[in-house]
Chain A
Amino acid sequence: MTKTPYAELLAMLSRHRGVVGSFVVSERDGLAVDSNVQIGVHAEAVAALAASLHRKARLACGAAGCGVVTFLRLDAEKGGICAAGRDDLVLVTISEARANIGLLRVEMMRAAKALT
């Protein structure tokens, strides 16, 4: 099995407390380029939805003159999704409520700069 350039990055993010999955997804078509998720996580469906949310946020921010989207965080009752994109690629993590979002945010924004 061939490792993608993102395997190390995703493994590092998945080691964070409360992170149950991470993946790199193409914003354009919503397809996961690589993923590192726990068993039971619907990676493909979530990747597509996260990519779509990121795209909508990017377009809305463009229309509003808010500039380039650097980080997106969707919170829910028991956890959430974080996303940081660059060009067409979006780095996404799925986390439980116990995750340290501040730390994860810093790591993701740093990692997103390396996405190519």
Chain B
Amino acid sequence: MPDEIRRLSDDLARDPSSLVFMPLAEALRRAGQLDVALRVAVRGLDRHPYLPDAHDVLARIHADRGDLERASDEWEMALRLDPSHAQANLGLGFIEFRRGDLESAERRLSTVPPAEQTPGVAAALAHVRSALGARPAKGAAVVMPNGSPPAEATVVSPPLAPSEAMAPAESVVVRETPAPAPAAPEQATPRTTRSVPELPAPDPSRTKQLFDSVLDGSGQYALLVDADGLVLAGAYTDATGKDVAEVIAAELAGVSSEAERAMRHLGLGAWTSLLVEAHEAIVAMTPAPNASLLVVTAARTTPVGLVRLLLDRALARARDWLVRVS
């Protein structure tokens, strides 16, 4: 591996505009040199921003670093550039599985064409389908296909030859924690086992605090609203301290379906976010599972990029929560 890295580094030094940055970044990633891999990939993408494979490599690096949000962004970018990109679908499928969105994960993984279905993909798909089939009733334990105890269900990564090892299969840590733990380097052993602690039953009295852990509290609010404009979770108080969550939710009833219809008329695909800038605040919305709508607001001085990041975090939280209550 060091020889390969040295050779690829030399090639890149000779021709910085070449595409050799991709195999170099990938080799560095596999060698566990994630910071260097990240620099190489980002610099390469500066020169070649429209290469889906380059975004895929960067996504794997982010995934190995435990930054699933950015990994997801990069795989989504790869799919925008190449809607049939199998590795990007695979990566997003694993992230959705990690978030508990099994239906989406199954859909994603199913899009990988049979010709590109390595044993790893097939095993992952079988695993997700099995988990879907074994989805328990509300509050019951998750029973995984290997028959492990409910409170400590396990996900078994598929056996992968080194040549077909994929970042998602090896990097995504399937663990229910607020922040993704850094992924372990790729294992030499063919099978790895990671634990999924059982999700606790939701406490209805705590739904208002659902998003507290993803907001920093300085004028930021998040609300999960159902298709009828009813509050599912979260809270919103106005400047006087009055709870106005239900009023806001009612005003936003139908936003999701109207956005969907507008995009359908235009043939622009599924809507992903709605950002509203107002004099005093920025309001960001995104579709959430079960036809619900997630709304995040922040002070007008908050950078728009940060609001979007908050929205992504809140969405992950909402998905996890909805899996538990539905």
Contacts and interface: CB of A to CB of B under 8 A. Distances in A.
A82 to B, nearest CB: 10
Contact of A64 (B244, B262, B277): B244
B171 interface: no
Interface in A58-100: 59-61, 63-81, 94, 96-97
Interface string B264-283: 01111111111111111101
A56 interface: yes
Given A64-B283, A69-B276, A76 B270 contact: yes
Dominant secondary structure of chain B at its interface with chain A:
mixed
Contacts of A66: 276, 278-281, 283, 297
A57 to B, nearest CB: 4
Given A46-B266, A60-B251, A64-B244, A77 B258 contact: no
B251 A53 contact: no
A48 B306 CA distance: 31
A52 B258 CA distance: 8
A42 B248 contact: no
B268 A72 contact: no
A41 interface: yes
Interface of A: 41-42, 45-46, 49-50, 52-53, 56-57, 59-61, 63-81, 94, 96-97
A64 to B, nearest CB: 5
B275 A72 contact: yes
A75 B272 contact: yes
B255 to A, nearest CB: 5
Chain A residues touching B, majority SS: mixed
Interface of B: 80, 236, 238-239, 244, 247-248, 251-252, 254-255, 258-259, 261-263, 265-281, 283, 295, 297
A94 to B, nearest CB: 6
A76 B263 contact: yes
Nearest to B279: A67
Contacts of A67: 278-281
A74 B278 CA distance: 15
Contacts of A79: 266, 268-269
Contacts of B277: 69-72
B269 A56 contact: no
Contacts of A59: 251
B278 to A, nearest CB: 4
Given A69-B277, A69-B278, A64 B248 contact: yes
Contact of A80 (B236, B244, B268, B276): B268
Given A53-B258, A78-B80, 16 more contacts: A49-B265, A53-B255, A60-B248, A61-B278, A64-B236, A64-B244, A64-B281, A66-B279, A68-B278, A70-B277, A74-B263, A74-B273, A75-B272, A77-B268, A78-B268, A94-B268
21 contacts: A42-B265, A45-B265, A56-B258, A57-B255, A57-B276, A60-B251, A61-B278, A61-B283, A63-B248, A65-B244, A69-B277, A69-B278, A71-B277, A72-B274, A72-B275, A73-B276, A75-B274, A76-B266, A78-B80, A80-B268, A96-B268
A71 B248 CA distance: 18
B261 A49 contact: yes
